[in-house]
Chains A and B, each alone.
Chain A
Amino acid sequence: MPTPAGTLYRGREGMWSWVAHRVTGVLIFFFLLVHVLDTALVRVSPEAYNAVIGTYQTPIMGLGEAGLVAAIVFHAFNGVRVVLVDFWAKGPKYQKTMLWVVVGLFVVTMAGFLPRHLMNVFGGGH
């Protein structure tokens, strides 16, 4: 079905960035609930905290952390884009361009984070 260019918001960069913002936001929120609970174990005993945090240091959880950081980095950068769309006079005009800037910054940030993190997870360690 042909889409008239420039008139429909639906199904284009604007909508998909909105969807991705929601999905990453919900993921981060549920992790946050779990993360406060696991940190609260420092009030139980050092052994209890170390046992649970030890499961965060396994390769599978290491990959999960990489995904979590990816979600946070996208949500953070796209959030700045949302602020600019709302408050900067030219924001709506450049919303698509700004999405590609967000994607570019995301790639650069993850390229800096992933090697370091994956080395910590898979290389040596405990």
Chain B
Amino acid sequence: MAQATSQVTVDAPRSPYDRRKTTRGNFELYSWVFMRASGVVLLVLIFGHLWMNLMVGEGVHAIDFGFVAGKWASPLWQVWDLLMLWLAMIHGTNGVRTIINDYAQRDGTRMVLKGLLYLAFVVVVVLGTLVIFTFDPCPTDAPADLLASFCSAN
């Protein structure tokens, strides 16, 4: 008989079972964890935001340039809004990414939609971050009655 050169490799006895046979990494696991962790933080941040802007005082009617200036005069609300911006944008972008992956069946459609999504993410996060850090509560060329009271304090 001709000798059959078998290439079948047999695992050594008791070698651990490799559940994950792909090389795709753990991205989707981290994304799943992030959605839950950021969701809980966002619940607190957004409920606080809605309380301050819609429930206290005159609610939505009290919001104007001076109101924003008054809030961002405090580092607490700067950090609050910055954290809310970043977490909400990552959470929302990741959620819409999941939905695009679920419903857009053609590769091209999926790529275009996700390209637009990531573009919107970068534009909104960069713009929002710059606005929080470069905000001038008392622009010199603006009418004083539109500004927060602390602008004319001294």
Footprint of B on A, CB under 8 Å?
22, 25-26, 28-29, 32-33, 36-37, 39-40, 42-43, 45-47, 49-50, 53, 56-57, 62, 65, 69, 72, 76, 79-80, 82-83, 86-87, 113, 116-117, 120-121, 125-126
Contact B99 A83 (CB under 8 A): no
A53 to B58, CA, bound (A): 14
Contact yes or no, B95 A50, CB < 8 A: no
B25, CB-defined interface residue at 8 Å = no
Residue of A72, A87, A126 near B61 (CB, 8 A) is A126
* Residue contact B92 to A83, C-beta cutoff 8 Å: no
Asked whether B79 is an interface residue with its Cβ less than 8 Å from the other chain, the reply is no
Q: Are the CB atoms of A42 and B131 closer together than 8 Å?
A: yes
Contact partner of A40 (CB less than 8 A), chosen from B63, B93, B127, B136, is B127
> Please, which residues of chain A bring their CB within 8 A of the CB of B40?
79-80, 83
Pick from A32, A49, A72, A80: contact of B89, CB under 8 Å: A32
Complex partner residue of B55 from A28, A36, A116, CB under 8 angstroms: A116
Q: Is the CB of B36 within 8 A of A42?
A: no
Is there contact, CB below 8 Å, between B99 and A22?
A: yes
Does the CB pair B68–A49 fall under 8 Å? yes
Task: State whether B88 touches A37 (Cβ < 8 A).
Answer: no
Taking a contact as CB atoms under 8 Å apart, the answer to whether B54 and A79 are in contact is no
Task: Kindly state the separation between the CA atoms of A126 and B92 in the bound complex, as whole angstroms.
Answer: 34
- Do residues A56 and B142 form an inter-chain contact, with CB atoms below 8 A? no
Chief secondary structure at chain A's binding surface: helix
Chain B interface (Cβ < 8 Å from any Cβ of A): 36, 39-40, 42-43, 46-47, 50, 54-55, 58-61, 63-66, 68-69, 85, 88-89, 92-93, 95-96, 99, 120, 124, 127-128, 130-131, 134-136, 139, 142-143, 146-147
Q: Which residues of B contact A32 (CB under 8 A)?
A: 88-89, 92, 124
Residues of chain A within 8 A of B64, CB atoms compared: 46, 49-50, 53
Chain A residues near B135 (CB, 8 Å)? 42-43
Q: How far is the CB of B15 from chain A (nearest CB, A)?
A: 31
Chain B contacts for A79, CB-based, 8 A: 36, 39-40, 43
Interface contact B68-A47, CB-CB below 8 Å: no
Flag if B92 contacts A65 (CB, 8 Å): no
Report the bound CA distance from A46 to B139 in whole Å: 8
Q: Establish whether residues A25 and B92, one from each chain, have CB atoms under 8 Å apart when the complex forms.
A: yes
Which of B60, B63, B96 makes the CB contact (< 8 A) with A121?
A: B60
With A26-B99, A39-B131, A50-B65 as given contacts, are A69 and B54 in contact (CB-CB < 8 Å)? yes
